[in-house]
């Protein structure tokens, strides 16, 4: 079987969606001899990254269809979409593609398929567009990136609706997203199967810190409102003279330094390759996730596997992932008192370690990579 992956975005400096696609394809290649992958990319960064990932690997081909620098505005251009669609149509025929499986983003290459009539089976792993749209109704748009995302989302709503009706099967990455697809797009419920993102339990092995002062808090996320970046800045400024804890941030360093009054007790990581993420988790005790929207939050999964306490906003997506795992949920950032959290979680290290080990076992059982890769393969076989 030959699967086409239209790769619409990659964010290697934050671990990123590109790394998830890599792990999926790599797992399928290693486990199933009849599996082949064709990856199409839309910019030079993607092309270089995936050529490096799969250099010399049989049964994987990386093809760059467009070499201009990725541009959030330009991808909405109709002429650009038509050109991509023509290239994809030709590629599908030449490569004898069985299934088009879109696992990433909501952008260019995937939506070019809207301009094609003759298509193989389409599958798409949906992210959290619906929850973004709901939040944006109540959110003030702060900067250029947010304005672009807001208007792109409104356009993508209509484009997704068209393409999902064409799709033979939709793969949702979370149960609550499946419900939103059914309600918003009026798609038949039995057309949607939930296959979650996965994490690698062997790579992200259990590693708790000493839980001694200063307590170390991690943050991984893009500098967008929807990821809670503004609340991160507010929290850093409110706790500026607190020597009980220190911050370890993987985000836009320049923006943090621009808005935070003092950089004491803040450690910056501007770029962390996927191979080094596990080491970053080793350095922290708590993971702070103030996002306003999450479908299947990989950072939460990885943090729990590493034996870290997650301090998370009380969202449906995060509730679904954590279920009965122990962590700290908050609704209002202004009521979040880190000192009290630390006292509660560190007063008994023995009890805390047992809680964190139980958390890991639950996540390992639900979201282990092998089980989910096997489910994806079974889905391919069923529809071929």
pTM: 0.82
Which is nearest to 182 in space by CA: 168, 159, 165? 165
CA atoms in the 13 A half-sphere facing the CB of 297: 29
Same domain, 114 and 230: no
**238-287 residue pLDDT tens:** 877 788 889 999 998 999 999 998 888 999 987 787 778 889 999 999 99
Say what percent of the chain tops pLDDT 70.
82
CA distance 158 to 153: 9
Residue 12's pLDDT is what? 40
CA distance 180 to 160: 13
Contact assessment for residue 5 and residue 23, using Cβ atoms and an 8 Å cutoff = no
Q: Collapse the DSSP code of 254 into the 3-class scheme (helix H, G, I; strand E, B; otherwise coil) and give the result.
A: helix
CATH of the domain at 104: 3.40.50.2000
Same domain, 69 and 187: yes
**326-369 residue pLDDT tens:** 999 999 998 899 988 988 888 777 789 999 999 999 999 999 98
Same domain, 286 and 175: no
Write down the mean pLDDT value for the chain. Answer: 82
Contact assessment for residue 103 and residue 376, using Cβ atoms and an 8 Å cutoff = no
**The total number of residues written for the chain in this structure:** 384
CA distance 24 to 373: 7
CA distances from 338 to 48, 235, 287 (A): 42, 10, 12
Same domain, 63 and 108: yes
**49-87 residue pLDDT tens:** 777 778 888 899 988 876 555 444 444 566 777 888 888
Which is nearest to 22 in space by CA: 13, 12, 32? 12
Residue 245 CA, distance from chain mean position: 27
Assigned token pair, 269: 């990581």
User: Residue 139: pLDDT band by 50, 70, 90 thresholds?
Assistant: low
Which is nearest to 234 in space by CA: 215, 244, 219, 213? 219
Residue 375's pLDDT is what? 92
Range of the domain at 325: 215-367
Same domain, 103 and 160: yes
Same domain, 193 and 231: no
Same domain, 129 and 7: yes
Give the DSSP per-residue string, 276-316. Answer: GHHHHHHT-SEEEE--S--SS-HHHHHHHHTT-EEEEE--H
Assigned token pair, 105: 């983003």
């Amino acid at each position: 079987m030959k699967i086409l992956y239209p790769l619409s975005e990659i964010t290697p400096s934050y671990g990123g969606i590109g790394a998830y696609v890599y792990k999926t394809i790599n797992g399928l290649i290693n486990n199933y001899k009849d599996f082949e992958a064709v990856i199409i990319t839309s910019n030079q960064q993607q092309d270089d990254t995936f050529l490096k990932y799969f250099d010399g690997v049989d049964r994987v081909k990386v093809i760059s269809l467009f070499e201009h620098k990725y541009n959030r505005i330009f991808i909405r251009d109709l002429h650009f979409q038509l050109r991509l669609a023509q290239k994809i149509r030709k590629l599908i025929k030449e490569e004898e593609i069985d299934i088009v499986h879109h696992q990433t983003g909501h952008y260019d290459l995937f939506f070019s398929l809207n301009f094609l009539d003759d298509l193989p089976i389409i599958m798409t792993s949906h992210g959290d567009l619906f929850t973004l749209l709901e939040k944006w109704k109540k959110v003030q748009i702060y900067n250029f990136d947010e304005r672009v995302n807001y208007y792109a989302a409104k356009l993508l709503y209509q484009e997704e609706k068209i393409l999902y009706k064409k799709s033979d099967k939709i793969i949702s990455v979370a149960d609550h997203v499946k419900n939103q697809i059914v309600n918003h797009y009026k798609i038949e419920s039995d057309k949607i199967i939930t296959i979650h993102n996965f994490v690698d339990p062997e790579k992200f092995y259990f590693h708790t810190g000493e839980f001694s002062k200063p307590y170390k808090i991690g943050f991984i996320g893009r500098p967008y409102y929807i990821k809670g970046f503004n609340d991160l800045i507010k929290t850093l400024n409110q706790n500026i003279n607190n020597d009980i804890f220190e911050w370890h941030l993987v985000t836009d360093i320049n923006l943090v330094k621009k808005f935070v009054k003092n950089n004491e007790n803040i450690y910056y990581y501007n770029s962390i390759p996927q191979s080094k993420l596990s080491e970053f988790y080793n350095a922290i005790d708590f993971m702070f996730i103030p996002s306003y929207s999450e479908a299947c939050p990989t950072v939460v999964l990885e943090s729990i596997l590493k034996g870290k306490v997650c301090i998370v906003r009380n969202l449906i997506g995060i509730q679904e992932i954590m279920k009965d795992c122990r962590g700290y949920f908050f609704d209002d950032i202004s009521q979040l008192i880190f000192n009290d959290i630390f006292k509660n979680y560190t007063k008994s290290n023995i009890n805390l370690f047992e809680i964190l080990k139980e958390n890991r076992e639950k996540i390992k059982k639900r979201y282990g990579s092998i089980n989910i890769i096997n489910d994806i393969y079974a889905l391919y076989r069923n529809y071929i």
